[in-house]
Structure 1
Amino acid sequence: MKHISLKIIVSFGLLLCFSCKPITSIVQGTPITNSKASQEKPYVILISLDGFRWDYVERFQPPNMVNFIKNGVQAESLIPAFPSKTFPNHYTIATGMYPENHGIIGNSFYSYKKNKLYRLGNRETVEDGTFYKGTPIWVAAEKENMVSASFFFVGTEADIQGIHPSYYYTFDNSIKNEVRVQQALDWLALPVKKRPHLITMYFSDMDNTGHDFGPSNDEKLKETLFALDKHLGDLFRGVTKSGLPINIIIVSDHGMADIPVSKYLPIENIENNELYTTLNNGAIVNIHPKKNVTIDSVYTYLKRKEQNFKIYKTEETPGFEYTPKNKDWGTIQVLPNHGYYFSSNRGIEIRKQQKHTTFGVHGYDPKQKDMHGIFYANGPAFKNGFLVPSVKNIHIYPVMSKILGLEIPNDIDGDLNEINSVLNTPD
């Protein structure tokens, strides 16, 4: 989860909003058990390594991940949806839908339907299932009487369609990785009726380091990666020891780009509370004109300010693979040039006080390769030693559905045909 609190500065104090108390959800007031049909199905563990750029494994050769990939499948990279931010892309992976359609269009955005601002640091909005459209994979599983579990994943804390995973935790990034790994193994050791066939997990280590030091700081990245790799190795070994038909899918929500502090743009320079509301997501700024203020007048006003950024009417904004029509985007978008990033004056000043001068950011057009993440998979459902070209993250959902024997919704943007070559039995 790219809880801004996980990033340096931008999310100062967010952890104060999060409880560390684990919560077990009882769906519809009744403890769910696996149906007889579900008990016969394979298992899927979906692991998100937040901010894990496509080239990190090749660069640093973490032993457990290298072995995992060698005996499984990998894509050259995983292509995020635009904007390449955490909340939109985690929920895209979970639903197979573009942000335009699943509704979580940014880490922060304004919902016209609810007349409310969604912020990833606001516990009330994060847990409000009415913000989340589509049918995330855990909801699909629970509807089919298949037990699911989550140790953090965007959306799992919300009552989407009135449903949570059977077991889930409220986000608390202070919980150690070894605790998360052990919980997953404990879930897999439950009696067959209570054992989750879908487990989602989240690790922010590489994102935290990437933001703090940038994706070119080999020393810091390698140190973080090898510590994470050790915990993943413990999980891999525990899964093997269980003897269960478990398939592990490892993904990331986006990559990371180096940005020197000199190229941060003060968001205050384009704010005008009399004309419009500004919602800043760093690499994209949503502009919502005030009542009785025309789009053209705002466009003209902002166009005169262009310097290291560009102004677009929403339907003409580059980066989208479709013409954006969701009203929540706002009518105008401000995009910094690649290599620049919007922040507050306060955030910029805090960065200037650091010993180093380069930081990591993301959110740009996915055509930029440094925004790409990872897709690795291993288990009985997958081929061995198999490489595919870069794949869009919208296609992961139908693969998970196929493995778990769940119906693939007709309204998703993902297509099983785009990725089913990774499966042992693609037909």
Structure 2
Amino acid sequence: MMLKKIVLYGLLSVLLLITITSCGSSSNIGTSYPTVNSEASLHKPYVLLISLDGFRWDYVEKYKPQHLSNFIKNGVSAESLISAFPSKTFPNHYSIATGMYPENHGILSNIFYSNKKNKVYSIRNRETVTDGDFYGGTPIWMLADRNKMVTASYFFVGSDVEIRGVRPTYSKDYDGKIKNETRVSQVLDWLALPKKQRPHLITMYFSDMDDTGHRYGPNNESEIKKALFNLDENLGDLFAGVKATGLPVNIIIVSDHGMAAMSTANLIPIETIQNDSLFLAIDNGSMVNIHPKDGVEIDAVFEYLKQNEGHYEVYKTEDTPGFEYLPKNKDWGAFQLIPDPGYYFSNEKNMMLLKQNNISTIGVHGFDSENKDMHGIFYANGPAFKKEYTIPSFQNIDIYPLICEILGFEIPNNIDGTISNVQDALNPDND
């Protein structure tokens, strides 16, 4: 049925354009964005960047889903994809989108305090999530915009935000209830648009493996396999639909982080640490940022925290293990609390709910890349890539220059990623 539908796309492209550009408040197409590809962009290849949130590096090898396995066999795979620290969803998606470490693009974690705005950014607060002032760097769709290329996104961190006045040409405000089938159909609709309006860069997002991993833990084989195989069917439909277009589409599949099993008996209640008279504590589970209050001596805060250590260590931010660089962004705070191996910060309400529901194991992430459970995936297939080829693990900041290389963009000199780490994945015979 999917392939029959695809055949009709070319005949209905004009109607689809009308539908897409008038589909209501959940979509975006603005006059400030390029709604028509430049002449140069018309001759560029296509890139479809797919994020599978929380997809651990070893899931495919362990469970062998049909469509992803075939995709990998005919393309390039990395041994793993290394997340930036902390290995959380928002900072790592935005690192993929900008080629920068969280330190430099500004989205430090899922929750952090902004000194500039005197406000706590939280992924649960839609007001802060959609405030473009928090987002630094140049997202790949913004770079495409500067190159007069039409872009689209069906959910990707930062794509539903006005960042210095720019969003993708076509985009959706995040709604986790939207079914995967709807997302797949929309991407195929975008690829069926007339060539002048057709996006050459598309990003999309699926949360299935993250949702399942958190709820059941990554070692619950029956639940992980069920979620993986359902997602694999959606991806199979997407692959078939893209192939049927006949377009030179390069599909890149990534994840933001992996997942580790955590005993609920080893959760540390943040309430035992908080002291509102001395400091602001920002809890991200795998680390707690400590911001001393104005007028409070920093050394006094450090001594207070050291005296109360329990299954965690207190570090001055510049001495904190896990960072790939010397952290200097003051939004980290003066100190970091890092849980001991096998422990994680939470709150008493959440811990009580887990106990009431007899949940003994959950899935968590956020730890540094020394823990390979935190590693994600990189799979790529299309004319720009080699076939049946494996490359070593690399950092997710290198995906940005890779996309630049494929689309013929000049790679910005202020990013942290480098093309040399992934150059070997590219097909040298592809022009």
TM-score, with structure 1 as normaliser: 0.94
| Counterpart for residue 313 of structure 1 | 316
Structure 1 residue 31 displacement after superposition: 5.5
DSSP 3-state at the match of 1:244:
coil
Is residue 262 from structure 1 mapped to residue 265 from structure 2 by the alignment?
Answer: yes
1:107-256 correspondence runs (5 A): 107-256=110-259
Question: Percent identity among equivalent residues?
Answer: 60
1:358-397 correspondence runs (5 A): 358-397=361-400
Aligned residues: 407
| Counterpart for residue 35 of structure 1 | 38
Preserved CA contact (<8 Å) 1:251 1:374: yes
| Counterpart for residue 24 of structure 1 | 28
2 CA distance for matches of 1:319 and 1:260? 22
1 CA distance for matches of 2:278 and 2:132? 32
Preserved CA contact (<8 Å) 1:338 1:364: no
Larger CA Rg, structure 1 vs 2: 2
Question: Compared with structure 1, are the counterparts of its residues 320 and 231 closer, same or farther at alpha carbon in structure 2 (3 Å cutoff)?
Answer: same
Structure 1 residue 101 displacement after superposition: 0.2
User: What amino acid maps onto 1:370 in structure 2?
Assistant: D
User: What amino acid maps onto 1:92 in structure 2?
Assistant: S
Structure 1 residue 328 displacement after superposition: 0.4
DSSP 3-state at the match of 1:159:
coil
2 CA distance for matches of 1:75 and 1:339? 27
Is residue 327 from structure 1 mapped to residue 342 from structure 2 by the alignment?
Answer: no
Structure 1 residue 27 displacement after superposition: 4.7
Question: Compared with structure 1, are the counterparts of its residues 162 and 426 closer, same or farther at alpha carbon in structure 2 (3 Å cutoff)?
Answer: farther
Structure 1 residue 194 displacement after superposition: 0.5
User: What amino acid maps onto 2:29 in structure 1?
Assistant: S
2 CA distance for matches of 1:295 and 1:254? 33
Preserved CA contact (<8 Å) 2:270 2:283: yes
Is residue 424 from structure 1 mapped to residue 400 from structure 2 by the alignment?
Answer: no
DSSP 3-state at the match of 2:315:
strand
| Counterpart for residue 295 of structure 2 | 292
Is residue 70 from structure 1 mapped to residue 73 from structure 2 by the alignment?
Answer: yes
* 1:47-104 deviations in Å (ceiling 9; x for gaps): 0000000000011000000000000000000000000000000000000000000000
Preserved CA contact (<8 Å) 1:51 1:206: yes
Structure 1 residue 393 displacement after superposition: 0.5
Structure 1 residue 25 displacement after superposition: 2.9
| Counterpart for residue 47 of structure 2 | 44
* 1:382-415 deviations in Å (ceiling 9; x for gaps): 0000001111101000000110111110000000
User: What amino acid maps onto 2:100 in structure 1?
Assistant: M
2 CA distance for matches of 1:423 and 1:259? 38
1 CA distance for matches of 2:94 and 2:382? 24
Structure 1 residue 32 displacement after superposition: 2.0
Structure 1 residue 425 displacement after superposition: 2.4
Preserved CA contact (<8 Å) 1:27 1:164: no
User: What amino acid maps onto 1:346 in structure 2?
Assistant: K
Question: Compared with structure 1, are the counterparts of its residues 156 and 27 closer, same or farther at alpha carbon in structure 2 (3 Å cutoff)?
Answer: farther
1:344-355 correspondence runs (5 A): 344-355=347-358
Is residue 96 from structure 1 mapped to residue 99 from structure 2 by the alignment?
Answer: yes
TM-score, with structure 2 as normaliser: 0.93
2 CA distance for matches of 1:128 and 1:397? 23
* 1:251-272 deviations in Å (ceiling 9; x for gaps): 0000001001100110001100
- Unaligned 5+ segments in structure 1 are 1-19
RMSD across aligned positions (CA): 1.2
Question: Compared with structure 1, are the counterparts of its residues 369 and 237 closer, same or farther at alpha carbon in structure 2 (3 Å cutoff)?
Answer: same
After superposing on structure 2, the runs of 4+ consecutive aligned residues of structure 1 that deviate more than 6 Å are: none
Preserved CA contact (<8 Å) 2:264 2:359: no
User: What amino acid maps onto 2:106 in structure 1?
Assistant: G
- Unaligned 5+ segments in structure 2 are 1-23
Is residue 410 from structure 1 mapped to residue 413 from structure 2 by the alignment?
Answer: yes
DSSP 3-state at the match of 2:160:
coil
User: What amino acid maps onto 1:260 in structure 2?
Assistant: S
Preserved CA contact (<8 Å) 1:139 1:164: yes
1 CA distance for matches of 2:400 and 2:34? 26
Preserved CA contact (<8 Å) 2:34 2:149: no
DSSP 3-state at the match of 2:50:
strand
| Counterpart for residue 401 of structure 1 | 404
2 CA distance for matches of 1:192 and 1:213? 44
Question: Compared with structure 1, are the counterparts of its residues 426 and 86 closer, same or farther at alpha carbon in structure 2 (3 Å cutoff)?
Answer: farther
User: What amino acid maps onto 2:185 in structure 1?
Assistant: Q
User: What amino acid maps onto 1:26 in structure 2?
Assistant: G
* 1:327-357 deviations in Å (ceiling 9; x for gaps): 1000000011121110110001111122431
2 CA distance for matches of 1:114 and 1:417? 37
DSSP 3-state at the match of 2:183:
helix
User: What amino acid maps onto 2:386 in structure 1?
Assistant: K
2 CA distance for matches of 1:167 and 1:370? 35
2 CA distance for matches of 1:24 and 1:87? 21
2 CA distance for matches of 1:229 and 1:294? 54
2 CA distance for matches of 1:336 and 1:147? 44
DSSP 3-state at the match of 2:268:
strand
2 CA distance for matches of 1:157 and 1:82? 24
